[in-house]
Structure 1
Amino acid sequence: MSTVLSAIRSLLFYLLFYVQTAILAIIVGLIAMIARRRTPLGWALALYWVHSHLAALRLIAGIRTDIGGEENIPDGPCIIASKHMSDWDIFALLPAARRPAFVAKKELMDIPFFGHAAMSFDTIRLDRSLGGDAIPRMIEEARAALARGARIIIFPEGTRKAPLTDHDYRYGIVRLYEGLGVPVVPVGVNSGLFWGRRSLLLWPGTARARFLPAIPPGLPSEVFRARLIEAIEAETNRLILSAYEAGLNRPVPQPLHDRLEALRRGEVPGPAPTTRD
């Protein structure tokens, strides 16, 4: 697909995405301010937000969606820990969790209407201004969300990552694992190939997410962390390589091309230095 055509299709999608998101945030935020709790109407609008944008991605930008492995999500309380490459990842994770409770930066909760809407959906705030109290407060809110029947969703690297860049898993997920004592479901994605974290252009293809077998509670912290990173990174690399070998309908910058070729040869990108919360 030409860059010009991709730019036109991307612009059309973003216009729909941002306008509709703003309108729905106001509506759901108002519902939340009145009801002061999660409501069936608010959740229905959240699901509409997801499915309407997945349809728009497919029809406007040519990005199809393929999600698998939902059977690996336990029926009871759990944590879903996913690789994060684009906003598509939220669309993929939200419906499968059935009652999601995303871990998000507190600053997002200060956005008018959006913050009220997010809090009505059990959102767990990570307030780094609390210093050493940030993680205990996060665990406290997460425990309360689990008691309400929610499943915790966290992006363990704390931000979106470009495909095949060095990973950087923070220790918040380890603290949640230690503090909550529930299974953790790893998730691999390849969405960054089609919707880049800082790219205004969307490229056609099939964005995929895979929920993997849950890691049981009770493992030593570093054993758990190693298993989580291995599961997420291996599946993410597998999905990326599969898409690459099937053919990408987009320009591939030389640094990404080199990493894709290295992955094809079995040379997995190395880890970044550890970052602790």
Structure 2
Amino acid sequence: MLQWIRSITFIVLATVYMPMIGVFYAPWAMFSRRGAYAACKAYSAGTMWLARVVVGMRCEIRGDVPEGAVLVAAKHQSFLDILMIFHALPRAKFIMKREILMMPVIGQYAKRMQMIAVNRGKRGAAISKMLADVKAGEAEPGQLVIYSQGTRVAPGLSVPYKKGTAALYEQMRQPCVPVATNAGYFWPRRGLYRRPGVAVVEFLTPIAPGMERAAFMATLEKTVEAHSDALLAEAGFKATLPV
């Protein structure tokens, strides 16, 4: 019961904290992309601090965090892994679903930071537009983050990796850094309960550019899934098999 109280308290505080940060940084963010990044970094850091203090959830980054221009292909289990990846990377630019741009505070800052929005309902057109938008934004150095499964996937579930990651890998001709996580075990995609423990985002060995598409996707999926499963096991997660 105490952990439930802590969880709900954390959700309330984190929810109130978002518009506070948004309003505080708005005068800077309106005229400077750097200000928008600073606001989102502050929100990420503050929310992770609240998670540690209120819930007992510590956030840990492992591996070599890329600083140059790379493609980052990450496992997505929770809103928490977004915060952790964004805070860790110097200049993250996320590929996100278009609906996020309509959200208060988050949407406005996403636009200011020139995040790449895609319409998931039209796959072929979405990939073409995504590639065009990425090409147009190449003058802005940074780390392009894509969630290869296209959505949050709860621990223990399997969802195919989408071809958009391979298309970006071929177009950008940059190293691809796989990212594993166990964040969904501590901060699930649904529900109010927040679990104490160590949530991990791990940056793995980069995949060099130039691999054939099928080989690249097989390597990426095998690497990310194996390391994510290891992190979940480390956290104490046990998958329940369907009856």
TM-score by length of 1: 0.81
Structure 1 Cα separation of the partners of residues 87 and 152 of structure 2: 20
Structure 2 Cα separation of the partners of residues 44 and 214 of structure 1: 27
Residue 133 of structure 2 is aligned to residue 145 of structure 1: no
Secondary structure in 2 aligned to 1:136? Answer: helix
Structure 2 Cα separation of the partners of residues 138 and 104 of structure 1: 10
Residue 39 of structure 2 is aligned to residue 45 of structure 1: yes
Aligned to 2:154: 162
Aligned to 2:190: 198
Aligned to 2:20: 23
Percent of counterpart pairs with the same letter?
A: 31
Aligned to 1:119: 111
Quick one: structure 1 residues 83 and 19, their matched pair in 2 at CA, closer, same or farther if it must change by over 3 Å?
A: same
Question: 1:70: Cα distance to partner?
Answer: 2.4
Aligned to 1:211: 203
The amino acid that maps onto 1:11 is: I
User: In the alignment, which of 96, 99, 105 is matched to residue 91 of structure 2?
Assistant: 99
- The one-character-per-residue Cα deviations of 1:43-94 (angstroms, maximum 9, x if unpaired) are 22221111111110001011011111125x2x43111111111111012111
Structure 2 Cα separation of the partners of residues 31 and 223 of structure 1: 45
Structure 1 Cα separation of the partners of residues 62 and 10 of structure 2: 25
Question: 1:173: Cα distance to partner?
Answer: 0.8
- The one-character-per-residue Cα deviations of 1:87-111 (angstroms, maximum 9, x if unpaired) are 1101211122211100011121123
Secondary structure in 1 aligned to 2:16? Answer: helix
Aligned to 1:65: 59
The amino acid that maps onto 1:23 is: M
Secondary structure in 2 aligned to 1:202? Answer: coil
Cα contact 1:69–1:212 (8 A) shared by 2? yes
Structure 2 Cα separation of the partners of residues 155 and 121 of structure 1: 18
Cα contact 1:186–1:231 (8 A) shared by 2? yes
Aligned to 2:178: 186
Unmatched segments (≥5 aa) in structure 2: none
Unmatched segments (≥5 aa) in structure 1: 260-277
Structure 1 Cα separation of the partners of residues 150 and 19 of structure 2: 24
Cα contact 1:29–1:117 (8 A) shared by 2? no
Cα contact 2:61–2:88 (8 A) shared by 1? no
Aligned to 1:269: none
Question: 1:131: Cα distance to partner?
Answer: 5.6
Structure 1 Cα separation of the partners of residues 100 and 26 of structure 2: 13
Cα contact 1:157–1:168 (8 A) shared by 2? yes
The amino acid that maps onto 2:219 is: R
Question: 1:176: Cα distance to partner?
Answer: 1.0
- The one-character-per-residue Cα deviations of 1:235-272 (angstroms, maximum 9, x if unpaired) are 0011111222xxx7xxx7xxx3459xxxxxxxxxxxxx
Quick one: structure 1 residues 78 and 17, their matched pair in 2 at CA, closer, same or farther if it must change by over 3 Å?
A: same
Aligned residues: 242
TM-score by length of 2: 0.91
Structure 2 Cα separation of the partners of residues 48 and 38 of structure 1: 14
Structure 2 Cα separation of the partners of residues 243 and 196 of structure 1: 14
Secondary structure in 2 aligned to 1:70? Answer: coil
After superposing the two structures, state which structure 1 stretch, 11-20 or 110-119, moved more: 110-119
* RMSD of aligned alpha carbons: 2.0
Structure 1 Cα separation of the partners of residues 122 and 188 of structure 2: 32
The amino acid that maps onto 2:56 is: G
Structure 2 Cα separation of the partners of residues 90 and 238 of structure 1: 20
Report which of the two structures shows the higher radius of gyration computed on alpha carbons: 1
Question: 1:134: Cα distance to partner?
Answer: 1.8
Structure 2 Cα separation of the partners of residues 146 and 96 of structure 1: 21
The amino acid that maps onto 1:153 is: V
